[in-house]
Structure 1
Amino acid sequence: MLAVIGAVLFALALILDLADASIGDTINGMTIVTAGLLCVALHLAGIGTRARSGGGGGWSLRGRR
């Protein structure tokens, strides 16, 4: 989910850069790119991912019958 948010932030930063626009004095293209990089870094660190629930096709500790 954080990767999707990062992609949206990158797209917004690209549109603002191409239009040569600014949202305000403090929020500019570089701020949005930094927020996108933060979201991607958190996604790669494993934060914001759903925990896998047991029961579906993984390794099992039970022996064969």
Structure 2
Amino acid sequence: MVGIVAAVLFFVAFLINAADISTNDAFSSTNVMLLGLMCLALHMAGVGTGWARRR
């Protein structure tokens, strides 16, 4: 699930960069890309995979 969120964030960052949309500093394409990288790192670490052991 976190990997899908990362893909969506990368796509939004690409659209902001490709369309040259002027946004404020908190929502720039670099910041959205960094959020995508954080979600990708969480996905690679196993967070949100759904393989939890339950009793």
TM-score over 0.5 (shorter chain): yes
Structure of greater Rg: 1
Flag the structure with higher helix content. 2
Which residues of structure 2 form unaligned runs of 5+?
A: none
The sequence identity of aligned pairs, in percent, is 38
Where does residue 59 of structure 1 map in the other structure? Answer: none
Query: Scaled by the length of structure 2, what TM-score is found?
Result: 0.85
Q: How many residues align?
A: 53
What is the Cα deviation at residue 24 of structure 1? 1.6
- The Cα RMSD (Å) is 1.4
Where does residue 50 of structure 1 map in the other structure? Answer: 50
Where does residue 25 of structure 2 map in the other structure? Answer: 25
Relative contact order higher in (CA < 8 Å, ≥ 6 apart): 2
Report the Cα distance in structure 2 between the residues aligned to 1:25 and 1:52, rounded to whole angstroms. 38
